[in-house]
Chains A and B, each alone.
Chain A
Amino acid sequence: MKEYLILRIITKLLLPFILLFALYVQFHGDFGPGGGFQAGVIFAAGFILYAMVFGVQAAQRILPDGILRAGIAGGVLIYASVGVVSMLLGENYLNYSPLAQDSKEGQHLGIFLVELGVGITVASVMMTVFFTFSAWRED
């Protein structure tokens, strides 16, 4: 990709905005359209763009396999453990009310953590799938 100067420069310029927009969509999913899934997909799309223009090796130096696989499992773990914490605090599974003083604050915190878990898993899975497809050798 050494010849594609315009692609490389534009990607370098755009990438921080794409990742920032993904974080915005993740954390403002309560007040506007958005949430975990959309944020995870946009985050993965930013990194996939980087990998397409600069090579998969360069992208894997930033996010090696181990981190991605930890992300895939970690998101589900965060989600499930929010439910377990709720159970340990006395209520039913995935009832967010006991997580904070006020029941409404507890719900807000529970929704935040759960969407975070979803976003991490979705982003890691999309990136892993792309890297796996691009490393496949036919022999």
Chain B
Amino acid sequence: MDNFFNLYNYWIVIFLAMAGLYIVIARGNLIKKLVGLNVFQASVFILYISFGKVIGGTAPILEKGIKVYSNPLPHVLILTAIVVGVATTALGLALVVRIRKEYGTIEEEDIHSQDESM
């Protein structure tokens, strides 16, 4: 039981990440794949930030009288990762619009069958 609650956060987040991964590999619609990718990224960020939490600590903004802070290093790395994630999403969506213009569809099956029949 002790192990369960202490690692509960990690397991739920692993479930969320796996659900996002399932959306990416099992669904054919390109926009839904990108939403699944965003879900996967957000879950990985939660996993990473929860490594840095210290019970009894506060946000890492220095104040008089507070001794225990949460670890600021994962916050810095995840801040960069969030911004890179949105850049990737923007480019992916621009590609989806161009694919729609070229193929007339955004379903992966139809795109493959059009490619094979060309």
A and B touch in the complex (CB under 8 A): yes
- For chain A, which range describes its interface: under 10, 10 to 19, 20 to 34, or 35 or more residues? 10 to 19
Residues A138 and B101 in contact in the complex (CB < 8 Å), given A32-B61, A33-B59, A129-B90: yes
In B84-101, the 8 Å CB interface with A consists of: 90, 93-94, 97, 101
11 new A-B pairs (CB below 8 Å) besides A132-B94, A133-B94, A133-B97?
A: A31-B61, A32-B61, A33-B59, A33-B61, A37-B79, A37-B83, A122-B83, A129-B90, A133-B93, A136-B97, A138-B101
Chain B residues 50 to 85 lying within 8 A of chain A, measured CB to CB, are: 59, 61, 79, 83
A134 to B8, CA, bound (A): 43
A137: min CB distance to chain B, Å: 10
B79 contacts across to A, CB distance below 8 A? 37
CB-CB nearest 4 A-B residue pairs:
A129-B90, A37-B83, A136-B97, A138-B101
Residues of B within 8 A of A136 (CB): 97
Contacts of A132 in B (CB 8 A): 94
Q: Which residue of B lies closest to A129 (CB)?
A: B90
- 14 residue pairs of the A-B complex, CB under 8 angstroms, read A31-B61, A32-B61, A33-B59, A33-B61, A37-B79, A37-B83, A122-B83, A129-B90, A132-B94, A133-B93, A133-B94, A133-B97, A136-B97, A138-B101
**Residues of chain A at the chain B interface (Cβ within 8 Å):** 31-33, 37, 122, 129, 132-133, 136, 138
**Which residues of B are at the interface with A, using a C-beta cutoff of 8 A?**
59, 61, 79, 83, 90, 93-94, 97, 101
Residues on A with C-beta less than 8 A from B90 are 129
Which B residues are CB-close (under 8 A) to A138? Answer: 101
Query: How near does chain B come to A129, taking the closest CB pair, in angstroms?
Result: 5
Inside 8 A of A122's CB, which chain B residues have their CB? 83
Once the chains are docked, how many angstroms separate the CA of A31 from the CA of B93? 36
A32 contact set on B, CB distance < 8 A = 61
Give, as a whole number of angstroms, the nearest-CB distance from B78 to chain A.
12
C-alpha gap A132/B98 in the complex (Å): 13
CA distance A32 to B58 in the complex (A): 13
Q: Once bound together, how far apart are the Cα atoms of A138 and B79, in whole Å? A: 35
Q: How far is the CB of A132 from chain B (nearest CB, A)?
A: 8
Nearest to A138 among chain B residues (CB) is B101
- Which chain A residues border B83 with CB–CB below 8 Å? 37, 122
The answer for the CA separation of A124 and B59 in the assembled complex, in Å, is 30
Closest residue on chain A to residue B98 by CB atoms: A136
